[in-house]
């Protein structure tokens, strides 16, 4: 009985030794095969509809057009270094470089998505992406995004950076809100920061301006504005008011184009149907 157990352990150990030896041989064969593989192609994937970076620019970064990769042995190509070069580009948010056993290097790139273009009071011009990072303009592509200008102190050092001023953070928050709403994304054409450092919106329809104030309570402010658009403006005309203020979350204030005298009136047509307001009235100043 004892001898049978010994032989059993010997056979199991022998089997494991064979498997381990086979694995080592297989790994050695793969390494030898890998050392013989030559790069024969580079495939680049750039999803999305933004074209800040194109195939030609990736070619330049990786020096593909100079035959720096194709024709070289894969073991002599540093894929990590190629990734680092791509990530050093201001318009690339994510990059992955990997190779297969057929000698094809695959390059996957995700571009930064701008949602706002800022022109500060020093005439510096830059984008802000979906993560709130400042990025430079591109010579390849101009993004159709909201433009903000006026009394903006946010500086740009022509490199990727975070937002440093409160007003720039509020601009980002406002632009991000507008782009996610199908109605306001179409209606709002521009953002302006006035001398009081308050946010004004310039619509595509109508000659008025919308005084937003700051980026607090955006849901309530835009809801009140939408009610005002639907109820009040069709009755009095789109160009009746030169300024529509929603800076206070519980009221809408209109300033007439031809006004000198100012009266405070209740505007039931503007906000009577609003259930989210703290007050069921709106002040219209004439």
Per-residue pLDDT tens over the stretch 27-49: 544 454 555 788 888 898 888 76
Sheet bearing 104-111, strands edge to edge: 41-45, 104-111, 92-99
Whether residues 207 and 254 share a domain: the answer is yes
pLDDT grade, residue 120 (50/70/90)?
A: very high
Whether residues 219 and 124 share a domain: the answer is yes
Domain of 261, in residue numbers: 114-285
- What DSSP line would sit under 51-108, residue for residue? -SS-HHHHHHHHTTTTTSSTTSBGGG--HHHHHHHHHTSTTEEEEEEEE-TTSEEEEE
In which element (H, E) is residue 209 found?
strand 209-213
Q: What is the CATH number of the domain that holds 63?
A: 3.10.20.310
Per-residue pLDDT tens over the stretch 91-111: 999 999 998 888 899 999 999
Whether residues 47 and 179 share a domain: the answer is no
């Amino acid at each position: 009985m004892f001898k049978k157990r010994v032989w059993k352990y010997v056979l199991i150990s022998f089997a494991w030794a064979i498997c381990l030896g086979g694995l080592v041989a297989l790994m050695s064969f793969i390494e030898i095969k890998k050392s013989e593989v030559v790069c024969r192609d580079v495939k680049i994937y750039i999803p999305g509809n933004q074209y800040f970076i194109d195939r030609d620019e990736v070619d330049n970064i990786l020096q593909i057009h100079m035959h720096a990769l194709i024709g070289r042995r894969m073991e002599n190509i540093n894929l990590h270094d190629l990734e680092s070069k791509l990530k050093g580009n201001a318009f690339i948010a994510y990059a992955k470089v990997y190779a297969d056993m057929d000698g094809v290097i695959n390059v996957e790139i995700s571009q930064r998505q701008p949602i706002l273009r800022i022109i500060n009071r020093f005439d510096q011009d830059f984008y802000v992406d979906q993560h709130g990072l400042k990025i430079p303009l591109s010579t390849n592509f101009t993004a159709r995004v909201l433009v903000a200008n006026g009394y903006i102190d946010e500086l740009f050092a022509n490199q990727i950076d975070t937002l440093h001023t409160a007003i720039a953070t509020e601009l980002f928050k406002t632009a991000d809100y507008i782009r996610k709403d199908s109605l306001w994304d179409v209606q709002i054409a521009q953002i302006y920061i006035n001398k009081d450092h308050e946010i004004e919106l310039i619509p595509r329809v109508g000659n008025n301006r919308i005084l937003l104030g700051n980026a607090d309570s955006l849901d309530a402010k835009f809801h009140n504005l939408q009610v005002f658009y639907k109820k009040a403006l069709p009755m009095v005309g789109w160009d009746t008011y030169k300024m529509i203020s929603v800076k206070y979350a519980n009221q809408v204030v209109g300033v007439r184009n031809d006004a000198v005298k100012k009266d405070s009136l209740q505007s039931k047509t503007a906000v009577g149907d609003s259930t989210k307001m703290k007050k069921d009235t709106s002040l219209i100043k004439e």
